Amino acid sequence: MTPDLRVTIAGVEFANPVMTASGCCNYGEELAQVFPLSKLGALVTKSITLKPRLGHPVPRTAETASGMLNAIGLANVGIDAFIKDKIPFLEKQKTKIIVNVAGATINEYVEVSARLADIGRVDILEINISCPNVDEGGLEFGQSPALTEKCIAGVRKVFPRPIIAKLAPNVTDITQIADAAHQGGADAFAVINSLVGTSVDIDTWRPRLTNNRGGLTGPAIKPIALAMVDKVYTKCKLPIIGIGGISTYRDVIEFLLVGATAVQVGTALFVEPDAPVKIVEGLKEYMKTKKLSHINDMIGKVRKYT
C-alpha cells in the first residue's frame, strides 16, 4: 500500500504537503528545468507588488552559520508583467499555484489581489505581511494585529478563493497576529517568514548587506519556526503551512508533528534545487516504514511531556 500524501487546506487539495517558499523559486521557470513542477504540492511565487521593483543593491545576501541573510528587497516584475509574462507559464504547470502578494499600503495589497482574482489558475493567495526587508510597511503590518486584520479583510473582499496569511516571527505573541488574520478572513497561516538579522564585515566595518539588515533563513532558524508552528497550532484554529529551515524529509516530519498541514522549502533550494523531490520520496519511505497510511496520521501528533 503506497502512503497517501494528499493534504487539503481550505478546500484545496494538494498532491503532497511540499511547496516551494516565496522568494526562493522566482516564478518557477528555473526549477522546472531541474524537475517537473508536478512533483510539488504547490509552487509559491516571489512576492508580487503593484509596480516592478529592482530591490536593494548588492550585496543583498550573506552567508551565516547554518543559514543566510537576505535583503533582496522584494525585487519582482510587478503585477502587470507577472500576469503577462509569468502566468502563461504557470497556467501550464500541473501543480497548485499560490501567488504571494506584498505591498507598502493596504491599498496596494488589495489592488494586486483584485487583479489576481480574475485569473482562475491562481488557486490561492499568500499575503506577505511579514517581509523584514522593506521600509515602507512590510514588517509593521505583520507586527500589528489591527493592521493585519485590516489588510487581510481588504484582500478578502476582492479575492474569492482561499487566502493564506504569512506571519512574521519577529513578534512577542504570534498567536495574536494569527487570530487577527483569522478575524480578517484568512483561511490558513504560513509560519514563519525570516527573522531580522545582520552581519558586519570586520575588515571593512561595513554591514554585509547594503540594506544594513536582512532576513535570517535556513537550518539555523528551524527550532524557532517549529516552536512558532507549535504555538499557533495549540492556540489558533486555522491550518498551518510550516516554513523555516526545512531541507530534508526529517525536518518536514518535525513540522507535521507539531501541527503543520503542509510545508514550504526555501533556502534549501539554493543548496539542493531538487530538495522537494527528495523530500517527497523520503516522506513516502518514512510512512511505509512507520506503517502510516496518510499524512494526517502525523499532523499535530507530537507526544508532548505533561
Ligand X SMILES: Cc1cc2nc3c(=O)[nH]c(=O)nc-3n(C[C@H](O)[C@H](O)[C@H](O)COP(=O)(O)O)c2cc1C
Q: Could you list the residues that contact other proteins (CB under 8 A)?
A: 23-26, 30-31, 33-34, 46, 52, 54-55, 58-68, 70, 72, 75, 218-219, 267, 269-274
Measured from the CB atom, is 62 or 178 closer to ligand FAD? 62
Place of cell 487570530: 179
Residue of 17, 28, 41, 67 interacting with its own copies (CB under 8 A): 67
CB under 8 Å to 279, separation ≥6 — which residues?
18, 246, 248, 249, 252, 265
Residue of 257, 260, 275, 280 interacting with its own copies (CB under 8 A): 257
Indicate the helix (H) or strand (E) that contains 217: strand 214-217
Residues labelled catalytic = 131
**String marking each residue 82-121 x if it binds ligand X according to CB under 6 A:** ------------------x---------------------
How far is 37 from 273, CA to CA, in rounded Å? 12
* Contact call for residue 280 and ligand FAD (CB under 6 A): no
* Contact call for residue 88 and its own copies (CB under 8 A): no
Burial letters 254-285, b for 16+ CB under 10 A, else e:
bbbbbbbbbbbbbbbbeeebebbbbbbebbbe
Interface with ligand FAD (CB under 6 A), residue total 4
**String marking each residue 43-82 x if it binds ligand FAD according to CB under 6 A:** ------------------xxx-------------------
With beta carbons less than 8 A apart as the criterion, state whether 47 and 128 touch: yes
**Quick one: which of 101, 141, 139, 140 has its CA closest to 117?**
101
Query: What angle (nearest 5°) sits at the alpha carbon of residue 298, between those of residues 67 and 18?
Result: 45
Measured from the CB atom, is 101 or 238 closer to ligand X? 101
Q: Residue 33 touches which of ligand FAD, other proteins, ligand X, none (CB < 5 to 8 A by kind)?
A: other proteins
